[in-house]
Amino acid sequence: MEARPTMDLPRTIARVLDLPLRGTLEKRPWWEALVWPRGAGTDVLLRSHHCIADGASFGALFGNLSDQREEIDALLRQGPRRRRRSRLARLLRVMFGPLVMSLRLLRAVLASLWMVVAAPRPPPRRRGPRTVAWASDFADVALLKRVAKKLAPGATVNDLYAALVAAALRTSVSRDAVACAVPVHLYGGALPPGVDVGNHIGAVVARLPLPGRDEAAHLRRVRDGVGGALRG
């Protein structure tokens, strides 16, 4: 499928997302790559059924096929620099970590139940084709980190992305928050070379607040809610 001018790309992707994978209907692979040549570059949309690979594994596979595979592998082998916690901090984390996580999970479940009670009638379905929230300008990770720290000290790039997703949902959802389940693999971070996720995967249930007029305050709520749940 081709998008004629670049301006049509968001609309074309929205239309593609409404279609099931062709492999689920025909004798084809359960993944596909749609390519749109654009000027000196190329836009690629990768789709895969979840029975083939989770997001982290699919990203690792795509990285292995890229021209920068060796550079990516070298960076992943270095691993992140982790702060060494004191022995007391590690002991407290082991003792109270499961309790804190259970309380956060209970809070998310209660928030979900409250949403059902507070809005017994399902919201009206929007008519028309599916739409996508589109960004035409992209920033590098270093800039995103600076923006996150400036708006909400202690916020991460993941918190910023969660806030952006919430902003996109605001056009369709009238509530103050939605319950979300975030899939995570238990290795944490990007997969090291040669490591498979396998069954080491889970999900974190969290309450994602939707934005109001104050963007910085919204990011702080996301940092404390979704970010806090993911960081445990």
User: What confidence tens digit (pLDDT) does each residue in 119-139 have?
Assistant: 656 556 666 666 666 666 667
By residue count, the chain amounts to 232
Pairwise CA distance, residues 109 & 6, whole Å? 43
Nearest-angstrom CA–CA distance, 209 and 170 = 10
> Higher-confidence residue: 148 or 43?
148
Please say whether the beta carbons of 157 and 146 come within 8 A: no
Note the pLDDT tens digit of each residue in 10-56: 777 778 877 888 777 777 788 888 887 777 777 788 888 877 766 77
**Domain residue spans of the chain:** 6-78, 87-231
What would the two tokens of residue 149 be? 């720290």
Share of the chain above pLDDT 70, in %: 73
Compute how many other C-beta atoms are within 10 angstroms of the C-beta atom of residue 59.
14
Long-range contacts of 130-134 (CB under 8 A, 24+ apart): 130/14, 130/15, 130/17, 130/18, 131/14, 132/10, 132/13, 132/14, 132/17, 133/164, 133/167, 133/168, 133/171, 134/10
- Helices 215-222, 141-151: crossing angle, 10 deg rounding: 100
192-206 pLDDT tens trace: 666 666 666 777 777
